[in-house]
Amino acid sequence: MGEDKELEELLNKKAMELIEKTRQLQRDPFPPGEVVHLDSSNFDDFISRKRVTVVDFWAEWCAPCFILAPIIEELARDYPQVGFGKLNTDENPEIASRYGVMSLPTVLLFKDGEPVDAIIGAVPREMIEARLKVILNE
């Protein structure tokens, strides 16, 4: 009988956490500190919502893309004022084409919804961070 009460309390706690997460997503579909998975339905809204955004253009077959992914995730946690997203170019070729992305990985840095810098290849965190700091300090 005690186990049922414990289970019920755990389920209620989990339900409340899910409700709160849903409320947060309704307020901000692009939570700070997280890398947002982008596609044609949310890309334009994402790059225009924050003053500075960073988008990682990648594909599942691209080994260097997987080297870069944890770096982007670290930067997202360290720069919550910046929007960080990733776009699968195989699933969204029209967006990659719009920005002339021909090599993967490509990281585009946007300011006020417009691309202002591009970094091609799996590069060290310091390189991306240095370019990001220049944009943030302008």
Residues recognised as catalytic: 62, 65
H helix runs in the chain, sequence order? 2-27, 43-49, 63-78, 93-98, 125-136
d(CA 45, CA 120): 24
How is residue 33 written in tokens? 């500190």
